[in-house]
Structure 1
């Protein structure tokens, strides 16, 4: 009883397995396993010494902006500009009303003339005082001689004492006048110095006012793009009020929070690659490691300089950038061409060419490097991977290496497309009826024709077995119909299905 029960269970399990194998075979057939031999292009998975990279999100950090300000307190008229416009160095930005400055200039110029006249007056007075001083000094010489003679006569009692004293008093009076005149000349010299200083001061003020008048035509100090513009085109502005802000096109950097464990690899690198949202690459180099760390994320802020011109799409503050950050020192890694990688649900696959069969392998990708991907697992260096003609491949498909873009002429004869339906869906094959040779899915077959009846046996290569397809049908014009029997399944099943065919070109 026990033996019978176990035998029954084994038989039941074998039946289930056979049924599953049949369904798998039908599924594989419906998907095209072992159909026509596909022509593919291949490339060898290579080993390179590279760093493994990871993506780190960064942003564009704008440098300092240039503020263009009002130069005086006056009504200001902006030029016809808009935010985003590009301005050149020296381009006119705004004009301020210079009426008050011009009035002040006229007043200063009048003061300059007045100061000049005063200086001339002082010079004339100095000249007169010097001439008068000369006369007094000559008079003093004469009077001193008279006084000496009078004193001599008084000493000999030839002249009265009063007369001698009168002569000496005359000398004293002239000496007093000379002293007064010299003091006046000193004062005149001081007045002349003050006049010269006043003229110099007025000249400086005139120069400053003229410079201020010229500055009322406000121009851009450097090339840049307008990022701020005063809302009112005409308004009163005070000196120092910001009218326009610009930023140079190259005044941008890239800032990113780099994980602490990767900092040493970034520091050793000669440069990194970053891409914008559209995938356009830019080359960047670390400029400074800022002394700012985020304890929560375990990162440190790094600023990168952009090599060459900054792409237009990145010339915006906070524009997103993806950095390719090295996570290891350069080590041997396996790389495959990008054309070999096919995205699928949950990851990526690569088809390897093994003994004329396409073998699907799931791979785990690393970073991109040029036209290749780093493969972390799934493919070994030296394997032949399919790079062309892999779009419609399925696991186990027969392949031959060639140029998928060139379709071979193929055997000559009547070309038919045969179709049938399995439990898992439709399937088809190509039949060529030649005068000397016939082919089914590019493999030679023996075809027996009796009138309109036709019979042949084709082969189907599956991963687990080689299936025979026994076709028996009838040709009616450009159509064909009949039965196909499938045999060779591990389960032993031999399903018979209806098939139809159409002649090529119809």
Structure 2
């Protein structure tokens, strides 16, 4: 009985003593990325806001009584859509009157032309008798005067016709402009008149915001402006967490004396298509400071805070080798490496929080951003 108990105890001890050896021999699965050279452009976050290049009141070009309003605040309109119609009764009458005056003037021109032709024929007949005994100087002078008067009458009739045509053009202009259309696509912010109101030329009737011309405006410290230029690409972060790619369009030559900042405008393709954007909405723009330079970089997930500084684990021959590193400026999701690593080193970015120096590892490459 005692021998059986001793044998069982010995077997159990041998099994338990074998477990640590098995566990220690198993390689830890980790993810690795490569230390590589990248272009670093140090940035500073600058607050910006959404603005629009076109936002204003649409005014009536002619005077008249408001007949119909086709939009409300919040209505989406396209360029050319009808916003407001003025009463056209009087304007239509004025167009008809102008056309009647043109017909009258045309008849007067035709009469004057016929009279001039008749006087011209008579004058030529009298002139043909100059070398004959039937020639009369008095009759010649009278006939010549009649021709000159007929010419003057024709010129006057032609002037009346031109004036009538100008009146018709003005009347048609007034009639056509009695329909007020959207000069550009956008959203109606405010309707500033009511049906039945009499408005003068130049009176604002509707305010429209052009959502298709959204831009970003940032007040950038003047000391950083020297390194900026049109066409430069930057990133912006909206309050919603959405990112937008920006292109510097213009640096406005105006400086705020109190903040020493300059207004810089950015364009962003597709900005107007994003939902729920509004003029005045804020975002953060990462503005580069200084010239870009090539630096050795390490993924930030590889960095482990250790006593005395930062440490990374480098995969060397299936082992996790710790390296103390000195880091510099951030570069997106990476950091500049000042000392401690070389290009091509495989550093552990996943699973490094549980590693021990010299531990066996099974590294799996992870795609870098």
TM over 0.5: yes
For the residues of structure 2 that align with 1:182 and 1:269, how far apart are their CA atoms?
76
TM alignment of 1:185-200, pairs within 5 A:
185-200=147-162
Deviation at 1:194, TM superposition (A): 0.9
Over 3 Å counting, the alpha-carbon distance change for 1:137 and 1:357 in structure 2 is closer
In our comparison, the structure showing a higher alpha carbon Rg is: 1
Q: Is the 8 A contact 2:296 2:338 kept in 1?
A: no
Contact 2:230/2:249 (<8 A) preserved: no
Q: Which residue of 2 aligns with 1:89?
A: 79
Report the TM-score, using the length of structure 2 for normalisation: 0.69
- Pair 1:374–1:277, CA change in 2 (3 A): farther
Tell me: higher relative CO, structure 1 or 2? Use CA pairs within 8 A at least 6 residues apart.
2
Q: CA deviation at 1:331?
A: 4.5
Q: How many residues align?
A: 328
- 1:201 aligned counterpart, secondary structure: helix
Q: What is the aligned counterpart of 2:264 among 278, 303, 318?
A: 303
Which of 96, 103, 109 does residue 99 from structure 2 map onto?
A: 109
CA offsets per residue over residues 319-377 of structure 1, 9 Å max, x none? 21211122343242533155x6899xxxxx99955898999x9x9996462xx233689
Q: Where do 5+ consecutive residues of structure 1 fail to align?
A: 1-33, 146-170, 344-348, 405-506
Which residues in structure 2 correspond to 1:320-359 (within 5 Å)? 320-329=282-291, 330-336=293-299, 353=313
Unaligned runs of 5+ in 2: 1-22, 365-369
Native 8 Å contact 1:40 1:400 kept in 2: no
Query: Quick one: which of 54, 72, 77 aligns to 1:64?
Result: 54
1:45-93 superposed Cα distances (whole Å, 9 cap, x missing partner): 6243312222121222321336532131112245432334332222222
Q: 1:351·1:385 contact (CA, 8 Å) conserved in 2? A: no
Render the CA deviation track for 1:392-448: whole Å, top value 9, x for unaligned. x679799875699xxxxxxxxxxxxxxxxxxxxxxxxxxxxxxxxxxxxxxxxxxxx
Structural mapping, 1:46-445, within 5 Å: 46-49=35-38, 50-65=40-55, 67-130=57-120, 133=123, 144=133, 174-232=136-194, 235-267=197-229, 270-294=232-256, 297=259, 299-310=260-271, 312=274, 315-329=277-291, 330-336=293-299, 353=313, 367=330, 369=332, 372-374=333-335, 382=345, 384-387=347-350, 401=361
Change (3 A) 1:368 1:75: farther
Relative to the length of structure 1, the TM-score reads: 0.53
Distance in 1 of aligned mates of 2:160 and 2:88: 25
RMSD, aligned α-carbons: 4.4
